[in-house]
Amino acid sequence: MPNFPMKLPIRLDWSEMDLFGHINNVAYFKYIQASRVNYWEATGLADKFAETRLGPILLSTSCQFIQPLHYPGTIVAEASITLIKNTSFGIHHRIINEQGQVCAEANDVIVYFDFNKNEKAPVPALFRQKVEEIEGKQF
């Protein structure tokens, strides 16, 4: 089981509630996106893109909704890299409520992409190295 080294506190917003009084499922995907981008920024992928137009692109995402969230409140969106391949990598996310309960789990598949050539590119060695430092394990 991943140790989720990346943690992003997020305040739940009143506007994210739906007709039934709980946080709408679409908001969960916003939290997952914030978690994903937080990891990208921590590894330097955002800076690399600005320099080279090479960077991550989301191939797929899925979410298992475990229990509802309610306003007001805060959550922690956690992330852990699960695998790194030649041109792609995976991220596992958890959304934790104020009571420490897992409210959702999500999985992303990210492709490293050359936006100049409009094609996949090899995952940079520096990204792999930074992830290994963050995760405390080798891929």
**pLDDT of 97-125, one tens digit each?**
999 999 999 999 999 999 999 999 999 99
Buried b (16+ CB within 10 A) or exposed e, 107-129: ebbbbbbeeeeeeebebbeebbe
What's the CATH code, domain 6-134? 3.10.129.10
Which pLDDT score is estimated for 46?
A: 87
Query: CA angle at residue 31 from 110 to 71, to 5 degrees?
Result: 165
Which pLDDT score is estimated for 81?
A: 98
Phi, psi values for residue 120, rounded to 5°: -60, 155
Q: How far is CA 52 from CA 37, 55, 78, 114, 129, in A?
A: 18, 8, 28, 8, 19
Does position 137 have pLDDT exceeding 60, yes or no? yes
- Average the pLDDT over 73-88 and give the result: 98
Does position 2 have pLDDT exceeding 80, yes or no? no
Note the pLDDT tens digit of each residue in 6-59: 999 999 999 999 999 999 999 999 999 999 999 999 999 988 898 999 999 999
Kindly indicate the confidence band of residue 1, based on its pLDDT and cuts at 50, 70 and 90. Answer: low
Q: Is the dihedral of CA 110, 112, 116, 119 positive or negative?
A: negative
Which pLDDT score is estimated for 93?
A: 98
Does position 75 have pLDDT exceeding 80, yes or no? yes
- Which among 30, 32, 55 is positioned nearest to 110, based on CA atoms? 55
Q: Could you give the CA distance from residue 37 to residue 45 in angstroms, rounded to a whole number?
A: 9
The amino acid at residue 133 is E
Does position 88 have pLDDT exceeding 90, yes or no? yes
pTM of the entire structure? 0.94
- Which among 82, 123, 75 is positioned nearest to 103, based on CA atoms? 75
